Amino acid sequence: MQEENKSARFERVVLPHLDAAYNLARWLVRNDADAEDLAQEAVLRAFKFFGGLHGGDGRAWLLTIVRNTCYTWLQRNRAHEPPTPFDEELHGAEGANPETILLEVADRRVLEQALEELPVEFREVIILRELEDLSYKEIANVVDVPVGTVMSRLARARRRLHLSLTARREEV
C-alpha cells in the first residue's frame, strides 16, 4: 500500500515537470536524443530517491537531479569533444504568412545560437529563469550557489546576450 502512495504522490509532485526536465537537459547537452535519455534517467533517479523529498518544490528538486545527471553524463561522454549545436524542429503557426514564418524561424535560430554560445553557467540560469520561470531562490537550489551568484550570473548572461544579438543585428 505504501508503494502505491509513493507512486501516486510521485505522479502528482514530479511528473507534471517532465517538459521542464527535458528542456533543461536539451539546453545542457544540446542534443534531443541524449536529452530524452537523460531526462528519463533523471526521473528514474528521482523516483528511487523520492522518499528523501520532504515538502519542498518537486520541480526544483527534479531539475536539480536533471542538472546533475547531465553534468555527470557530459563529463563521461564529452570531456574532449567540442560542443555541437542542436537544431530544434521549428513549428510555424497555421495559416501564417510564409514570410512571417521565415522571419520568426530566423529570429529563433539567432537567439538559440546566441544562447548556445553562452558559457554553461550563464546558459543554465537563463534557461531556468526565462524559459522555466524559476525564482532566484529555486535556481540557487538547483545550481547549488547563493542567490547573489544567481543574480550576478543572470545579469552577465543577459548582458552577453544583448551584446551578441546587437552585434548580429549590425552584421545584417
Residue 62's CATH number: 1.10.1740.10
Cα–Cα distance measured from residue 80 to residue 108, given in angstroms and rounded to the nearest whole number: 29
Q: Is residue 27 part of a domain?
A: yes
Query: CA dihedral defined by 146, 150, 152, 158, rounded to 10 degrees?
Result: 180
Q: pLDDT tens track of the chain, all 172 residues?
A: 455 587 888 888 888 999 999 999 998 998 899 999 999 999 999 998 887 777 767 888 999 999 999 999 988 887 555 444 444 444 444 455 555 555 555 667 777 888 888 898 999 999 999 888 899 999 999 999 999 999 999 999 999 988 888 887 777 6
Residue 56 and residue 118 in one domain = no
Q: Is residue 118 part of a domain?
A: yes
Cβ–Cβ under 8 Å, residues 44 and 3: no
Residue 166 and residue 106 in one domain = yes
Query: Which own/partner contact pairs does 88-94 have at CB distance under 8 Å and 24+ positions apart?
Result: 88/26, 88/32, 88/112
Per the document, the length of the chain is 172
Q: Of 49, 81, 113, which closes a domain?
A: 81
Residue 114 and residue 63 in one domain = no
Residue 118 and residue 164 in one domain = yes
Q: Which pLDDT score, from 0 to 100, does residue 122 have?
A: 92
Q: Of 81, 112, 147, which closes a domain?
A: 81
- Look up the domain containing 15 and give its range: 1-81
Q: Which pLDDT score, from 0 to 100, does residue 1 have?
A: 42
Q: Is residue 90 part of a domain?
A: no
Q: Which pLDDT score, from 0 to 100, does residue 153 have?
A: 93
Q: Which pLDDT score, from 0 to 100, does residue 69 have?
A: 94
Q: Is residue 156 part of a domain?
A: yes
Residue 6 and residue 70 in one domain = yes
Cα–Cα distance measured from residue 26 to residue 23, given in angstroms and rounded to the nearest whole number: 5
What's 31's DSSP letter? Answer: -
- 155's CB contacts (< 8 A; 6+ apart) are none
Cα–Cα distance measured from residue 135 to residue 128, given in angstroms and rounded to the nearest whole number: 8
b (16+ CB within 10 A) / e for 137-146: ebbbbbbeee
Q: Of 81, 113, 132, which closes a domain?
A: 81
pTM of the model: 0.68
Q: Is residue 87 part of a domain?
A: no
**Count: domains in the chain:** 2
Residue 157's CATH number: 1.10.10.10
